[in-house]
Chains A and B, each alone.
Chain A
Amino acid sequence: MMKPKVFNRGKAFLLAAVVFTGLSFKEARTKTTQDPATLRIVFSNKVGARDLVLRDSTYENPFGESYTVTRFRYYVTDIFLGTTGRQERIRHTYFLIDQGIPASWVAEVKIPAGSYHSLGFLLGVDSLLNVSGAQTGVLDPMRDMFWTWNSGYVMAKMEGNSPASTQVNQKFEYHIGGYSGPHKVLQTIRLPFDKVQEFHGGETCTIYVDADLNAWWKSVHEFRISEHPVITTPGLLAREMSENYAHMFHIDKIVPDSH
């Protein structure tokens, strides 16, 4: 999980206090429904059934164009869980899933114990945070997911090489962003569970989510690398590609009470 790098003394003290209090409570009480559950989401980026390996492996997209991937990153934020008649929103959840950093593939959050029927999140960084100045943690501009001359986050990024590309070194590059206007690329992802799932207080439930890169090229729209090797500015193409990649996720399995 991407934890904030920044920790001041005040917060360290508070955390110590919380941990301490938590420990003493743990001794004094048995688990109750008041305890939060831990939701762990493990993202596996794939092409079809194959795991994504950067650089070395060659894949083929739905148009038979072969490609390798050098960078693959996306923001998962504002996680929520569906329960009868409403959504349980987990505030302040910001994750940058970066294929190059295995530790980032796991997003872990505390949620209220209960029964839920779906998992959801925003693919991208909400509009407000795009206009609120300098951020830190996974939203730090140093994460290379921020446009400087046209302020705003790149919500998802895929870069690589393909013989189908007409660009220098057969590169292809998709930096998908745009937080406002008709070509906003923010996508809300909702992944229903097969059955209602209990999340017990004090326990960890792991949801394995697969993301298939080939959805970027073909789901509701069609993009051939030969025609669109580069999409790096907000606009119609970026929005359509985001409508495609919104379909890349599905739940592989749910493992309750895992540790």
Chain B
Amino acid sequence: MKKLWVILLLVAGAIGTFSWDEAGGHPHKTPHFHPTPLKLTIPRGWPQPPTNIFAHNPLTEEGFQLGRKLFYDGRLSRDGNFPCASCHEQFAAFATYDHDLSHGFNNQFTTRNAPPLFNLAWARSYNWDGGVNHLELQPLVPITAPNEMAETLDSVLARLRKDPVYPRMFKAAFGTPIINSQRMLKALAQFVGSLVSYNSKYDKVMRGEATFNSAEARGYALYKARCSTCHPEPLFTDYSYRNDGLSLNPYLKDVGRMRITGDPADSLKFKVPSLRNLSVTFPYTHDGRLYSLYNVIDHYSKGIHVGPTLDSSLRKAVPFTEQEKDDIVYFLHALNDTTFEKDKRYAQP
């Protein structure tokens, strides 16, 4: 009996004060709450994600569907016009199609190119400078930025609470109809973190379901020789921060990683982006300055700006021949995944 008393006291202590997974949707804590578990797709041959981003946010069908609805809902922005999906469009692999910078509230531009959203569960940090350390925290940036969604969490949550549908969906996802910032952020992370793109021709070749044509095969060899140190298979990025020879943008004056670390050695270093789905994510790089894939290849061929933080692997770049440029572009096109861009599970509900 004494033991029971101690256990109960511990329980009382645990709920009487804040605990870090409070309301985190731990299904076993709420009786009669049995959401449908989901598993993150980890394609055959891929590494395990470096950390489990769902460790304190069990992935469920209900959580995913709530996140999906939130992602497409304009009410997360001040004037209703800028849901996440306004800058992250599915047909553009969740980048902003054909925009160097995206549009936000009150005719303002974002200060960086909107990256596509896929395979984020493998990333270790988010944004071009890696300033966001957990996927759940990412939405705080656009929601509160005056040039993006221009909102406060308070008013977003007030709107969701008044909605006839959301309380039901929060209950289905987390066991009770309570709507708070943590649950909203966790649901968004469930949707965005589940976006996995792995059905390009390249993937089919690796699975033995297709073969490269000769141009793609030559391009693949060139890629391995010249690009794979920073953009390694199968994710086509190592998620490190590097200076790949782009000079400082004189208008935006964006120093990249240094903005976060304050370390001059990080000046002009940006997170290496994936090379998947490039056919729909142009223009390229953090400020969208390279419009086409040929612009990108020309950059690596003879456009490298040599500065103190330039990556050592690019210090003596050999120019590509016209044939080689074509071959690399053929290979890059083999990394497009049109099933991802059309997947109905990721579409507007």
Binding site for B on A (CB under 8 A): 2-6, 8-11, 13-15, 17-18, 21-22, 25, 34, 36, 91-94, 109-110, 129-142, 146, 148-152, 233-235
Contact = CB atoms under 8 A, between A and B. Distances in A.
B222 interface: no
B43 to A, nearest CB: 24
A94 B17 CA distance: 7
Contact of B140 (A4, A148, A233): A148
B180 A150 contact: no
A6 B137 CA distance: 19
Contact of B17 (A92, A140, A142): A92
Contact of A136 (B135, B145, B181, B259): B181
B8 A6 contact: no
B233 interface: no
27 contacts: A8-B30, A8-B176, A10-B30, A10-B175, A18-B11, A92-B13, A92-B14, A92-B18, A92-B19, A109-B17, A132-B20, A132-B134, A133-B185, A133-B189, A140-B180, A140-B181, A140-B182, A141-B140, A141-B181, A148-B132, A149-B127, A149-B141, A150-B131, A151-B133, A151-B134, A152-B133, A234-B262
Contacts of B141: 148-149
A94 B145 CA distance: 28
A132 B52 CA distance: 11
Interface string B25-55: 0000111010000000000000000000100
Contacts of A21: 4-5, 8
Nearest to A21: B8
B260 interface: yes
Contact of A146 (B2, B33, B56, B140): B140
Nearest to A10: B30
B62 interface: no
Contacts, number: 137
Task: From B53, B182, B262, name the one whose CB has the most chain A CB atoms within 10 angstroms.
Answer: B182
A21 B12 CA distance: 11
Nearest to A77: B18
A38 B132 CA distance: 39
Q: Chain B interface residue count: which class?
A: 35 or more
Contacts of A140: 180-182
A136 B176 contact: no
Contacts of A22: 8, 12
Contacts of B145: 148
A91 B30 CA distance: 22
Contacts of A8: 23, 29-30, 175-176, 178
A109 B13 CA distance: 8
Contacts of A152: 133
A77 B9 CA distance: 20
A93 B20 contact: no
Contacts of B203: none
Contact of A135 (B2, B20, B53, B260): B20
B244 interface: no
B144 interface: yes
Given A149-B127, A234-B262, A9 B30 contact: yes
B225 interface: no
A235 B23 contact: no
A123 B204 CA distance: 53
Nearest to B51: A131
9 smallest beta-carbon distances between A and B, as pairs: A133-B136, A137-B18, A134-B185, A6-B23, A148-B140, A136-B182, A133-B134, A134-B136, A8-B176
Contact of B262 (A130, A138, A233): A233
A4 B176 CA distance: 15
B22 interface: yes
A151 B260 CA distance: 10
B78 interface: no
B136 A4 contact: no
Contacts of A135: 20, 182
A86 to B, nearest CB: 19
A136 B137 CA distance: 12
B57 interface: yes
B20 A139 contact: yes
Contacts of B262: 233-235
Contacts of A235: 262
B153 interface: yes
Nearest to A110: B13
A151 B131 contact: yes
B186 interface: yes
A219 to B, nearest CB: 24
Given A140-B181, A151-B132, A14 B137 contact: no
